[in-house]
């Protein structure tokens, strides 16, 4: 790949997602050394800078890259293999055996396919959980794809009717995680950060949870990312195992705080909501997954009233079955309107904020990403509005949330590098992934 030192990206409409929600028409952004070096009127930017490359922006909206706060890239090969189950059956019958039986090559290709889909549909950063085994191959895929990510192996040491093969002993889990932290955390120009991913309390002993918290304290900027209070039956099982409500159990384990993000957070009592607020714990709302697994509807409005940071996640392909954040942004807005019977419950502008700057805040990365502002990393996407679904276009934010899809993304830039443009991946050999995917699919069809 040719490395360009600087570039100008033009756009008919630039949506910055800064604190003032600035939108600039006939705009351009000057990118230098991977950073946003200037932005403003197209004419002025061209007058002030000469760039190695200019990306024309006719019929294009330019906005910050989307931030997916909860994904399982490695589950992509299981897309369509676990439909119409509830959470625990879905896990025990399909997802865990599937993950457990992946070869190292399958972990790599399945993750890479997931990252390709994210990049293709406008996600520039993801908060990702891998498998217990062979997770180095998933991190390798993240490194090669060019995506920005917090990522780590799945941590679990309790079988709880889960397949034996996926269980590791407590010490091995932590030893492997620590080795991976030393190898990958804050590497690739800061694009890759490790994360500690206990799957959920049902698969983690108190001893493992204590070791995870201890490990987190030994490193800077290392987040805990786990599932919590997703389904009612899960909460009942956690109560039996930990003799406490889910969130209180996590609090007693000292696993909550501003460096923890909980996926789902649906079934909470009043006290648990207050614990989330007081500890400044972050939530990732995953609307498609919650609908498909019939888990429930997260009360995003309530979290916002409490000042809790909430990002939007897709979750994995077996429960979504897609990494297109545009689908989840739209559904996030719709679900709150229905839940609260209030059309203003979650307006389009707030949803866009959740998928950009709030997502960045929720994963403690907002100093560098989440908006198009001077000095931030150049993580941006372009939307093609020369399309039937973009006509007429009165309000670009309304278009993005209610009418667009990931297929409208024409360009994805991460860290100042174009990773996808007009149908072409720049970092990923898509034909190679196709062959690997077919090979895996053939195994099921034998
Ligand atoms: Zn998940």
DSSP 273-313: HHHHHHHT-EEEE-HHHHHHTT-----HHHHHHTT--EEE-
- Rounded Cα distance between 270 and 62, Å, is 41
Low-confidence residues of the chain, pLDDT below 70? 1-4, 161-166, 446
What separation in Å is there between the alpha carbon of 94 and the centre of ligand 1?
Answer: 14
* CA distance to 97, 184, 270, 295, per residue, from 406 (Å): 30, 29, 37, 25
What domains, with CATH codes, occur in the chain? 6-64+372-425 (2.30.40.10), 66-362 (3.20.20.140)
What separation in Å is there between the alpha carbon of 26 and the centre of ligand 1?
Answer: 40
Task: List the one residue out of 38, 35, 30, 9 whose CA is nearest residue 368.
Answer: 35
E-strand stretches of 299-425: 310-312, 380-384, 409-414, 417-421, 424-425
If you search the block for the tokens 């457990």, which residue do you land on? Answer: 100
Neighbour-count burial of 438, counting CB atoms closer than 10 A to its CB (0-12 exposed, 13-18 middle, 19+ buried): exposed
* pTM for this entry: 0.97
* CA distance to 107, 186, 321, 381, per residue, from 442 (Å): 16, 37, 20, 35
What separation in Å is there between the alpha carbon of 398 and the centre of ligand 1?
Answer: 28
pLDDT at 84 (0 to 100): 87
409-414 vs 417-421, strand pairing mode: antiparallel
148-152 vs 123-129, strand pairing mode: parallel
pLDDT at 4 (0 to 100): 67
What separation in Å is there between the alpha carbon of 227 and the centre of ligand 1?
Answer: 6
What separation in Å is there between the alpha carbon of 266 and the centre of ligand 1?
Answer: 13
If you search the block for the tokens 């009612």, which residue do you land on? Answer: 232
pLDDT at 97 (0 to 100): 87
- Rounded Cα distance between 113 and 145, Å, is 9
pLDDT at 165 (0 to 100): 64
CB distance 137 to 71 below 8 Å = no
What separation in Å is there between the alpha carbon of 315 and the centre of ligand 1?
Answer: 5
What separation in Å is there between the alpha carbon of 356 and the centre of ligand 1?
Answer: 20
3-state helix, strand, coil in the chain (%, to 5): 45, 25, 35
What separation in Å is there between the alpha carbon of 411 and the centre of ligand 1?
Answer: 27
* CA distance to 12, 21, 33, 149, 217, per residue, from 37 (Å): 19, 19, 9, 23, 35
What separation in Å is there between the alpha carbon of 38 and the centre of ligand 1?
Answer: 37
- Rounded Cα distance between 107 and 76, Å, is 9
- Cα 110 from chain centroid? 16
Task: List the one residue out of 124, 160, 93, 45 whose CA is nearest residue 412.
Answer: 124
* CA distance to 176, 209, 260, 287, 306, per residue, from 215 (Å): 12, 10, 13, 31, 29
User: What dihedral do alpha carbons 383, 389, 390, 395 form, nearest 10°?
Assistant: -100
What separation in Å is there between the alpha carbon of 20 and the centre of ligand 1?
Answer: 33
What separation in Å is there between the alpha carbon of 336 and the centre of ligand 1?
Answer: 20
- Rounded Cα distance between 27 and 13, Å, is 6
Q: Rounded to 5 degrees, what are φ and ψ at 34? A: 80, 0
Q: What percent of the chain has pLDDT over 90?
A: 91
Sign of CA dihedral 299, 301, 304, 309: positive
SS in 3 state form for 167-236? CCCHHHHHHHHHHHHHHHCCECCCCEEEEEEECCHHHCCHHHHHHHHHHHHCCCCCEEEEEECCCHHHHH
pLDDT at 2 (0 to 100): 55
Residue 132 makes CB contacts below 8 A (sequence gap 6+) with: 99, 100, 153, 154, 155, 156, 166, 167, 168, 173
Two tokens, residue 217:
């304290």
- Rounded Cα distance between 300 and 441, Å, is 37
- Rounded Cα distance between 435 and 185, Å, is 31
pLDDT digits (tens, 9 = 90+) for 176-229: 999 999 999 999 999 999 999 999 999 999 999 999 999 999 999 999 999 999
E-strand stretches of 374-445: 380-384, 409-414, 417-421, 424-425
- Rounded Cα distance between 282 and 264, Å, is 10
What separation in Å is there between the alpha carbon of 373 and the centre of ligand 1?
Answer: 31
CB distance 129 to 154 below 8 Å = yes
- Rounded Cα distance between 6 and 53, Å, is 7
């Amino acid at each position: 790949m040719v490395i360009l030192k600087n570039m100008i990206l033009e756009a008919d409409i630039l949506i910055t997602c800064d604190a003032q929600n600035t939108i600039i028409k006939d705009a351009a952004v000057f990118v230098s050394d991977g950073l946003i070096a200037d932005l403003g009127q197209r004419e002025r930017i061209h007058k002030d800078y000469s760039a190695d490359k200019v990306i024309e922006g006719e019929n294009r909206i330019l906005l910050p890259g989307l931030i997916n706060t909860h994904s399982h890239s490695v589950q992509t090969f299981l897309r369509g293999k676990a439909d119409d189950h509830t959470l625990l059956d879905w896990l025990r019958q399909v997802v865990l055996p599937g993950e457990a039986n992946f070869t190292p090559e399958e972990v790599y290709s399945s993750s890479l396919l997931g990252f390709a889909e994210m990049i293709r549909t406008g996600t520039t950063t993801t908060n990702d959980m891998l498998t217990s085994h062979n997770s180095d191959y998933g991190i390798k895929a993240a490194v090669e794809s060019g995506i920005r990510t917090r990522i780590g192996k799945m941590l679990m040491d309790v079988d709880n009717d889960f397949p034996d093969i996926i269980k590791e002993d407590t010490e091995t889990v932590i030893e492997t995680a620590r080795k991976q932290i030393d190898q990958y955390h804050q590497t690739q120009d800061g694009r890759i950060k490790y994360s500690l991913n206990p799957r959920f309390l049902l698969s983690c002993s108190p001893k493992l949870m204590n070791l995870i918290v201890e490990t987190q304290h030994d490193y800077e900027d290392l987040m805990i990312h786990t599932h919590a209070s997703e389904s009612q039956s899960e909460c009942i099982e956690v109560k039996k195992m930990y003799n406490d409500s889910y969130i209180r159990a996590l609090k007693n384990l000292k696993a909550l705080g501003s460096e923890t993000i909980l996926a789902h957070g649906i079934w909470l009592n009043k006290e648990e909501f207050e614990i989330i607020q007081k500890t400044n714990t972050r939530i990732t709302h995953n609307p498609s997954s919650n609908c498909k697994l019939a888990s429930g509807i997260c009360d995003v409005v309530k979290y916002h009233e409490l000042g809790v940071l909430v990002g939007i996640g897709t979750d994995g392909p077996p429960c979504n079955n897609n990494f297109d954040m545009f689908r989840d942004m739209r559904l996030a807005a719709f679900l709150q309107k229905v839940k609260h019977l209030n059309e203003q419950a979650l307006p389009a502008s707030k949803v866009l904020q959740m998928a950009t700057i709030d997502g960045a805040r929720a994963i403690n990365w907002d100093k560098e990403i989440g908006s198009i502002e001077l000095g931030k990393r150049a993580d941006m996407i372009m939307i093609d509005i020369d399309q039937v679904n973009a006509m007429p276009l009165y309000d670009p934010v309304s278009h993005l949330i209610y009418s667009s899809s990931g297929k409208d993304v024409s360009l994805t830039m991460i860290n100042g590098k174009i990773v996808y443009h007009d149908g072409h991946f720049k970092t990923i050999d898509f034909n190679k992934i196709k062959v690997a995917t077919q090979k895996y699919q053939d195994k099921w069809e034998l």
